[in-house]
Structure 1
């Protein structure tokens, strides 16, 4: 962050610091449960900025349908990510696009391949579409072994997540390209819901490989899940096919406005970027703190390229004690795998509380 020594900037810095202090004080006094289970971003847009956006919403024609094809926003998004408009499909969050892809591909593909572990919604849509699937086992350390990739002679829908949820590890681009070349008869979907917390994206590959779709969302790295917006990038042929399964008016006028502001309004993009960097800094700090607490006979913590950390427990008693301690402190976390705990990165105050609880749990387990 660059600081300019002018009275105005100093006033803004002081105002920002006072705002943060007030927020931290409110967090300490809150009786609400601490939500560290669904990978939300802990930091909202500044209230004044949201008020500005609300005023712009008031100027929209609420009595008119939005553009059925979202033509202007599609062109803007395409320019923003460096592809052509025919390579872009917009949707009501990434989950709606996932459902759309499966609904379409289940009509002409006989099987799917998904990772294990992965986002649980992929199991659900396979069952909903009656699409048989195989799983590609990811190692506990998040590494991928091409030799264990399920054998598939028939065309299949292959869904990979990068970074993976719940492991937090990202797919190397070289591995993605190897798979695309090795299985040209398959359609590959790369779900990049958490990619903004990592480095790199596969979007640029969609103009090189005709069998690739990349899904993006505003829900995670942009911290705007209530806006309900996602998009996918893919070959023009695949996008055109998927459009036949589009539900009318999936992207409303208010969402269009906010996404437009995110791309074109420096104040909005800056606020989102600051929040994201705050999460990444906290994630790395908490990881190192937990790594220092870990041991071979207690628990290990997975380095993450997302906004969460996965703890894997060797000591089941310690895990049960921590569950009880989190419950008694109204801290909600996730348990996505056996003997594992997934921890969404929250605010500074929230993570300080979590670290104290885990440190206490480690100390108690050591005595027992």
Structure 2
């Protein structure tokens, strides 16, 4: 991806990948590294990963038997899509949403049908359901909160989708759950068509380890395990994740801190939007990023790039900014003011 060319040399502030700006606690990191000394390189990784399932199950308030562990939530999404998609099959999602949904569906010969969010990022539940019925979709998948807009559906809304499509699988991608706080995991045994995916790459700050989860009722888990490739999570990642999962309080604390920074940044951006000499719009978010729109995106991207700040660019007039540290956010605001507010504007 072009975003990553020369990043280390060119950009001091990377607000493009929704990573956590909070690094691992030093004491925990030392413990994580020390556990690597016992790894036997001539042995395959543990395939069942029961300890990881037990620890994450305790954190997510579910049972180990309801969890599949994979090489990031991407592997879990691919596992689901590969099991349900094929020529003539259709998946319903939002537009915009996580680009990997489209990639995997096309990879397995399926077709993606999209409910387009308008410029105000409005979601009408009835229209979404009507579109799914009209297209006779085989799978429904969306991120919640939505990536990249930050829109979040309430559990009551998702339940209506589950009940409208009782014979269709509904996948709720909760990669950004910790920044929203509302999950569909409590409903996995009530709704047999529900699958939830999670990741350790965002709030847990373990993007480098590539570990994610699929959580569903036991029947779904058993069926999907029959199609899962073995040994996809390497021994180093497993060992370090087992240690990290013993300290869930760290994630809860860090998530609260990121949410606080999100709300502070949101207020600053809304104030900038109000006083901008060129049109720019920012949207409210329930994730660790803020979505925006401007017809002056070239000025935006070039201006921030000159200051060593990288944000996520999309093909249309939209962009996405990851929540950074207080200092990073201040530098971002200062840069945006130079670009969008004429000298002397209040």
What TM-score comes out, normalization by structure 2 length? 0.89
8 Å contact 1:155–1:187 — kept in the other structure?
no
The C-alpha deviation readout for 1:117-145, integer Å capped at 9, x for no partner, is 10111111111111012111224333321
1:9-32 CA distance string (max 9 Å, x none)? xxxxxxxxxxxxxxxxxxxxx974
Which of 266, 271, 279 pairs up with 1:298? 279
Aligned to 2:191: 209
Q: What is the deviation of 1:52?
A: 2.1
Match of 1:361 in 2: 339
Q: Within the alignment, does 1:196 sit opposite 2:175 as a pair?
A: no
Deviations 1:260-280 (A, max 9, x none): 22332xxx4343333322222
The 1-side partners of 2:118 and 2:11 are apart by 37
The runs of at least 4 consecutive aligned structure 1 residues that moved more than 6 Å come to none
- Are the counterparts in 1 of residues 12 and 308 from structure 2 also a CA contact under 8 Å? yes
- CA shift digits 1:327-362 (9 cap, x unpaired): 211211112262222111112221111101111222
SS at match of 1:136: strand
Distance across 2 between alignment mates of 1:100 and 1:365? 53
1:27 aligns with none
Structure 2 stretches lacking a partner, 5+ long: 1-8
**Does the aligned pair in 1 maintain the 2:36–2:239 contact within 8 Å?**
yes
Alignment check: 8 A CA contact 1:114 1:134 kept: yes
Q: Work out whether residues 109 and 156 of structure 1, in 8 Å CA contact, stay in contact via their aligned partners in 2.
A: no
Query: In the superposition, relative to structure 1, how do residues 349 and 128 fare at CA in structure 2: closer, same or farther (>3 Å)?
Result: same
> Which one is further off, 124-133 or 139-148?
139-148
Corresponding residue for residue 348 of structure 1: 326
Residue 90 (structure 1) aligned to one of 42, 63, 69: 69
Could you tell me which of 183, 200, 207 is aligned with 1:225? 207
**Greater C-alpha Rg:** 1
Q: For 2:88 and 2:184, how far apart are their aligned partners in 1?
A: 23
The reply on whether 1:177 has 2:159 as its aligned counterpart is yes
**Alignment CA distance shift 1:68-1:341 (3 Å):** closer
**How many equivalent residue pairs?**
332
Instruction: Determine the structure 1 residue equivalent to 2:262.
Output: 283
CA RMSD, 1 decimal: 2.3
Name whichever of 286-295 and 106-115 sits farther off.
106-115
Of residues 211, 220, 224, the one that matches 1:238 is: 220
Partner of 2:3: none
State the shift of 1:68 in Å.
2.0
Residue 305 of structure 2 corresponds to residue 327 of structure 1: yes
- Maintained 8 Å contact 1:194/1:220: yes
Conservation of the 8 A alpha-carbon contact between 2:170 and 2:194: yes
Change (3 A) 1:276 1:337: farther
Aligned to 1:11: none
Q: Determine helix, strand or coil for the equivalent of 1:167.
A: coil
Residues 45 and 272 of structure 1 are in contact (CA less than 8 Å); yes or no, is this contact kept in structure 2?
no
The answer as to 2:253 corresponding to 1:274 is yes
* Structure 1: runs of 5 or more not aligned: 1-29
The superposition leaves residues 169-204 of structure 1 with CA deviations (integer Å, 9 ceiling, x where unpaired) of 111111100010111121000001011111211111
